[in-house]
Chain A
Amino acid sequence: MKHCLTFAAGLLALLFLTAGTVQADGHKVLTMSTTTSTQASGLLDVLLPALEKDTGIQIKVIAKGTGAAIRDGMDGNVDVIFVHAKSREEAFVSDGYGTKRYPVMHNDFIILGPAADPAGIAGMKDAAAAMKKIALSRSKFVSRGDDSGTHTKEQSLWKATGLPQEKVLKSIFKKGKKTMVTFSHPKGLGDWYLSIGQGMGKSLTYAEEKQAYILADRGTYLKYKLGRNQGLDLNILVEGDPLLYNPYGVIPVNPAKHPHVKVDLATTFAEWITSHKGQALIANYKLLGEQLFYPDAIPDAR
């Protein structure tokens, strides 16, 4: 009998514990997959508390590469996505996975490198030409290699160099059907090209350790350069090419595909972030006076 009681007490304790862990799952919680840069840049730490104060919506942030975040949206694992790969976002909406793309903000990509600059690209305005010099001099280059927005941009830059490209085919299963995804990079890779399959932050610290070149978004770069004690021992060598423009969008997942998604909350969030309040917060998020993101819905928000 005593043992039965102990067992019952154990089960009760278990119920209590599991109840405790799910307490936070109230109905005003929105699940969002986003790119690593919105989290690593510190922007979400500014936006989310304000959002909660204004609308009562709490956001559960799952930070992944843009590719994985879009897949989360397609599978209906999240209610809303906040990513940066415009052409893929538009496809996401036109294929019926999202209700609407809300343009939120932009910043730009930059090519970083060590002070020694072995490829000699400092100050170049043409991003593709700079990438070409890196490849031809076989200087160390770190690639995200994770199907993220930054990786997508990197691949389009390699294409723009006119160098012979190598396509890597990978087959993945989507809806039980085999689909091929292709990654492209310069032909005949050697140990100069490091494809590490990590988020923006880790890729930056990796590139710093290796003193390698890397394509990065300006937001994360500034956060790493100015927003932490250690700083970052890499400099901006190439910037300002229109090819390097980097827009971000928010897309609620379409309830027509996934009836369970909290489309009302997702739309409220999308409208809030594109409202004057949200846009002003984005415009005013600065690190040591440097602006990280520029609002797109209301460009002159302050």
Chain B
Amino acid sequence: MNFFTDSLLSALTLMRDFDPELVEIVGVSLKVSLSSTLLAACLGIPLGFAVGIREFPGKRTVVTLLNTLLALPTVVIALFVYSFISRRGILGALDLLYTPKAIIIGQVLLILPVVATFTLSAISRIDARYRQTAMTLGATRFQTALVILREARFGIMAAVVAAFGRVISEIGISMMLGGNARGFTRTMTTAMALEYDKGEFVLAVALGLVLMSISLLVNVILNLFQGRGRN
């Protein structure tokens, strides 16, 4: 018990003092995760929207495929990306391995299916009458799309938040493609794994607390948005 409370108290001290190492690691983690979430949102929302709004042959196959991709383990994605961006790979000349960009690429692949399927299901839940009404009122295709997007906005927002939660707590991709290089690609999760390797728990506990605070904050913000939307 002593061991746990000691680690916890020292961790709180680290957080109170804005320990530079802690701040740096949290910074790298946030930058990488926000970038991959934004990119995945830019690609995944239109993708989910397009699949959700249209009827086309093979739609069920596409949906099944996206759902399957949801279950892809991070190490598989990391290995796949590694084989492309390692110097021996096709994209080797781009010098991507062991950079934050490499992590972002892997993470985008990880959460693109998350954003797309959540968007898709949010869109499918919108009553078809919205669309018909908008069209009969003379809306263009673009305006109709906006109406539907507006109706589905909370579902889509939830998709983006879930995706962010997935990447900020993810470790396989960050470790294998980022390499846990201090000051460059050391994220909260890889730093925690290293501290555990070293048998030191203080920084790891502090990072765990920060990670949980961030996810709490994100969810509180989402909740506020949804509350305002209902009024």
Contact = CB atoms under 8 A, between A and B. Distances in A.
21 contacts: A3-B146, A14-B38, A14-B39, A18-B35, A21-B101, A22-B100, A22-B101, A24-B184, A31-B181, A60-B181, A60-B183, A60-B184, A62-B181, A75-B86, A76-B88, A77-B97, A78-B98, A198-B197, A229-B6, A230-B199, A260-B95
A13 interface: yes
A53 interface: no
Interface stretch (A107-115, A119-127, A162-170, A199-207): A199-207
Interface in A1-45: 3, 10-11, 13-14, 17-18, 20-22, 24-25, 29, 31, 36, 40
A228 B95 contact: no
A45 B135 CA distance: 66
B216 interface: no
A221 interface: no
Contacts of A158: none
B195 to A, nearest CB: 10
Interface residues of A, number: 39
B199 A205 contact: yes
Contacts of A198: 197
Most B-side CB within 10 Å, residue of A62, A199, A230: A62
A45 to B, nearest CB: 9
A29 B98 CA distance: 12
Given A75-B87, A76-B88, A201-B198, A62 B98 contact: yes
A175 B185 CA distance: 27
A269 interface: no
B34 interface: yes
A293 interface: no
A18 B101 contact: yes
B49 to A, nearest CB: 13
Contact of B86 (A10, A29, A77, A228): A77
A13 B31 CA distance: 11
Interface of A: 3, 10-11, 13-14, 17-18, 20-22, 24-25, 29, 31, 36, 40, 58, 60-63, 75-78, 175, 198-199, 201-202, 204-205, 224, 228-230, 232, 258, 260
Contact of B99 (A22, A228, A258): A22
Interface residues of B, number: 36
Interface string B188-231: 00000000111110000000000000000000000000000000
A21 B198 CA distance: 27
A228 B192 CA distance: 16
A62 B95 contact: no
B104 interface: yes
B93 interface: yes
B179 interface: yes
A13 B38 contact: yes
A201 B101 contact: no
Nearest to A224: B199
A193 B92 CA distance: 39
A197 B184 CA distance: 26
Interface string B162-183: 0000000000000000011111
A202 B196 contact: yes
A224 B146 CA distance: 60
Given A14-B42, A31-B98, A21 B197 contact: no
Given A3-B146, A10-B41, A229-B6, 19 more contacts: A10-B42, A14-B39, A17-B38, A18-B35, A21-B32, A21-B35, A24-B183, A40-B197, A40-B198, A58-B183, A62-B180, A75-B88, A175-B88, A198-B197, A202-B197, A228-B198, A230-B199, A230-B200, A232-B199
A228 B87 contact: no
B23 interface: no
A17 B31 contact: yes
Contacts of A77: 86-87, 97-98
A9 to B, nearest CB: 11
Contacts of A22: 99-101
